[in-house]
Amino acid sequence: MTLKIAIVLGSTRPGRNGEAVAKWANDIAARRDDAEFELVDIADFKLPHLDEIVPPAMGQYSQDHTLAWAEKVASFDGYLFVTPEYNHSTSGALKNAIDFVYAEWNNKAAGFVSYGSVGGTRAVEHLRLIMSELQVATVRSQVALSLYTDFVSVSGVVEFRPAEHHRNALDTTLDQLVSWSRALRTVRTGA
């Protein structure tokens, strides 16, 4: 059975840099033959601020948008989160999307591609803590993109131009993510 990995675009802000980053990661991942990758844009789910009455850990979702999001999250073996860094953390939209469901994340793996003034590394540190509470194993390798060196303004339009070493970091991150996702599948299936 083919591994399924979501590349989760974790920003909903108009004009977001994350869209170009997520497409870059998805294009590179799509060339691999060890997993099936899908770009998942949290903006497409139009999740309001968490509006479930029962805590997500109970698994008693009542809202249609929660049920759709839960089904999507559950369909994957692992996740590559593409996150901006806002105020030394991840985006509120991504945190909210993560908080909507619980069991659907459990016993899976996650990797990270971040961007910000210092590469988004503080956002990833927060996400690692959040993921551990959801029983998600995070891989060590990550991609940290700088707003100062990996994005350039051309005629007033910001373009994403990652340095070559980021491709190597992404390959390593994906290698680790696929490996851990495969291993954790055995935990979920009891094999």
pLDDT by residue (tens digit) across 56-89? 999 999 999 999 999 999 999 999 999 999 999 9
In contact, 112 and 79? CB cutoff 8 Å: no
Burial bucket for residue 171 (CB in 10 Å: 0-12, 13-18, 19+) = middle
pLDDT for the residue 43: 98
- Supply the pLDDT for residue 191: 64
* In contact, 82 and 51? CB cutoff 8 Å: no
| Number of separate domains in the chain | 1
Q: What is the CATH number of the domain that holds 50?
A: 3.40.50.360
Range of the domain at 56: 4-189
pTM of the model: 0.96
Segments in the chain below pLDDT 70: 191
